[in-house]
Structure 1
Amino acid sequence: MGRPIDMGADGAGSIWPGALFVLTCLSSISPVRCAPDAASQMQLLLDFQQAWGQTFAGWVAGGRCSSAAHVKCDAQGMVTSIDLDSRGLTGSISSTIGSMASLTDLDLYKNNLTGSIPAGITKLHKLCYLSLGRNALTGSIPATIGNMSSLTYLYLGYNGLTGSIPSTISSLISLTQLSVSWEWE
């Protein structure tokens, strides 16, 4: 038998440090983690560049966000905007895009991106502008899209998306422009 927990005078005892440790460990199990520093964000850009089969100026190991083409960043070097409209991208959108917690604008319009819209993208709670139109995306819109409370612009038109529009989209109270038209299957 183990030793009883000393609850102390206030009843809290020593159980809280252990519980805090367990909660901290459980929270680190998440498949999408935030890229907490500029170096981590640059590594994500490098991963995207490789996956999309393109090379962009300034997207180099040890590089700085402020030197990266088609990217804007804040004073701390965190990526706030990625604009790769009509850049001939191929491949899929990695779920690790959800690690860019400071991202407010993501424009991947008019490329040749395939696969589904990753659920990880809906972890971008600061995202205001999302343009994924005119690609070859398939599957359905993630039901968790309703978590993107800052979204004002959402363009998914001209893809091969299937299924219905999730009811959670009604949670996007800041949304002013929505396009899911054309070639919707």
Structure 2
Amino acid sequence: MPDPRDFSAQLAILHQRSISPNGNFGFHVPTYSGNLAQATDWEESWEVFFSKSLKKALELEIQAKGHDPEFDVLGPAIFDKVIPRLLRPLESDGRSVKPSLIHGDLWYANSGIFVQTGKPVVFDACCFYAHNEYEFGQWRPTCNRFGNEYLSAYHEYVPKSAPEEDYDGRLDLYKL
């Protein structure tokens, strides 16, 4: 595993210095998480981009495994209540979200240490421009080795987005 401080410093640089070519969320070509195409059409709003992306992921899930009646209950709750509650405040009351270039599939098996330099490296990305905190949804399950020490180190470089009290809820949403 890469050193938490070195790794987080490099990730913070990627997120902070990247500039979306049109100021929007998305990417200029489709990207893939494994063999699953990601929704990368450009959107001005992070809430809209995330909603479209999650809908596409759910459609692919239903195609692969069939319809589950729980989707009829959970889908509307997530899209009509949870997403607006957690993401709309990021772009309200004068706040905005910077579209940051993210890895998009950043978990411990897609990282390592470059032997010649001892510096952290990442690979197997499915990049797009997103809310920087989206990167950390995959870090929530305990099976991922990027634990709290990595999040704490990252937030020494980049503060949590406001409103901070929604941070844990946003990461749980991004985990979906």
Whichever structure has more helix as a proportion of its residues is: 2
Given the two structures, how large is their TM-score scaled by the length of structure 2? Answer: 0.27
Given the two structures, how large is their TM-score scaled by the length of structure 1? Answer: 0.26
Q: Which has the higher contact order (CA 8 A, sep 6+)?
A: 2
Instruction: Work out which of the two has the higher radius of gyration on C-alpha atoms and give 1 or 2.
Output: 1
Whichever structure has more strand as a proportion of its residues is: 1
